[in-house]
Amino acid sequence: MAKKRPQTKAKRPQLTDGEIPVVGAREPCPCGSGRRYKACHGRAAAHAVTELVQRPFEGLPGECDWVALRELVPAATVELTLRDGLPEGVPSVTLATVLPMAWPALRRDDGSVLLGLQNDTASGDISRDLADTLLRALEAEPGTPVQGRRAPAEGPRLQDLLDAEAPFEPVVHTGFEFWVPDAENATPDVTASLERANAAAIPTVRLQGVDAAYWCETPEKNHLRWVMPHPEEQLLDALARLHAAGRSSLGEGTRLVGSFRAHGLTVPVWDLPSGVGAQDVEKPAAEFAERLAATLATDAPLTADERRARGGLTNRQVTLS
């Protein structure tokens, strides 16, 4: 018998990382390595999707307000400006804290788009997930909601889609009537849904004299929650210096009680007496902002009293995200 000639395998074409398509996790990797996709190029893709972005709104106008609307404010909207302008048939794009049925986005009958902010996201990059939802909403049929999904690992982020020079101006609402164009003539089911949502919303007001500070009313006491852009360690040092010096309050009966940590930023929180409204803290907040700015410029070591004050503030810090 004649010897069988050894078979030679044709060489697979060499692909660059950017050309390798996504396939099933257990399928052979298209790069030709012989390994399963999940153990080869799929590993990097999965890591890119799940890696937590500590400051997803960094670089956007109004980063502190983005954080506040994501975590603290019940009902608010912001008109968004796209870098490349609005597509034909889309009269406006509006960011909303919450949408009916917790929809990620909604294309209204008139073609306008509502983008929900307070939704669970599939990856560790909220900005990429929101950008993916926005792009799909712009192409959705009018009158349809957009469902959530895992955004492509290499997809754009909000920073790629939104105009970096446009202002970010939140409008805080007393309820969720912005869900429907004509709330007075809404169906009974929609009316009931609105009533439930409105009943659960905490009254909230955005201060006018300082950035990203939100007054809210609760049954026992009121609060001021102020999202600040300063590096956490530097801000905590400054707050500790003011606290130890008795200069951290916003007036009689008010008290700096701790802070939240949200999306890479720190949110100091003050307790306010029930009778203190948003207008009452406008001037004290502006005065505090001046004291804080001066204290942030100090780099001397903390004193013993200031270290104790800092420890107390750190122990009363709660991470929201």
Residues 89-135: pLDDT tens digits?
999 999 999 998 889 999 999 999 999 999 988 889 999 999 999 99
Strand order across the beta sheet in which 255-262 lies: 204-206, 213-217, 222-226, 265-272, 255-262, 317-319
Query: What's the confidence (pLDDT) of residue 186?
Result: 73
Cα 77–198–277 angle (5° rounding)? 75
Query: What's the confidence (pLDDT) of residue 37?
Result: 66
Whether residue 227 is predicted with pLDDT greater than 50 in this model: the reply is: yes
pLDDT class of 150 with cuts at 50, 70, 90: confident
Percent of the residues in the chain that have a pLDDT greater than 90, as a whole number = 72
More confident residue, 83 or 180: 83
pLDDT average, residue stretch 278-286: 98
Query: What's the confidence (pLDDT) of residue 10?
Result: 43
Closest CA relative to residue 77, chosen from 60, 63, 96: 96
* Helical ranges in 19-125 per DSSP H: 41-50, 63-71
Residue 255 β-bridge partners = 271
pLDDT class of 253 with cuts at 50, 70, 90: very high
Query: What's the confidence (pLDDT) of residue 4?
Result: 43
Amino acid at 21: P
Q: What is the pTM of this model?
A: 0.83
Alpha-carbon distance values, 55 to 89, 260, 271, 277, 293 (Å):
33, 14, 27, 31, 22
Percent of the residues in the chain that have a pLDDT greater than 70, as a whole number = 88
pLDDT class of 254 with cuts at 50, 70, 90: very high
Whether residue 31 is predicted with pLDDT greater than 90 in this model: the reply is: no
Whether residue 191 is predicted with pLDDT greater than 90 in this model: the reply is: no
Angle between helices 282-296 and 232-244 (to 10 degrees): 110
Query: Per the structure block, which two tokens stand in for 113?
Result: 């788009």
pLDDT class of 9 with cuts at 50, 70, 90: very low
Angle between helices 232-244 and 304-315 (to 10 degrees): 120
Query: What's the confidence (pLDDT) of residue 51?
Result: 78
Please give the Cα distance from 59 to 67 (Å, whole number): 13
More confident residue, 268 or 196: 268
Q: Parallel, antiparallel, or unpaired: how do β-strands 222-226 and 265-272 relate?
A: antiparallel
Query: What's the confidence (pLDDT) of residue 77?
Result: 98
Whether residue 41 is predicted with pLDDT greater than 80 in this model: the reply is: no
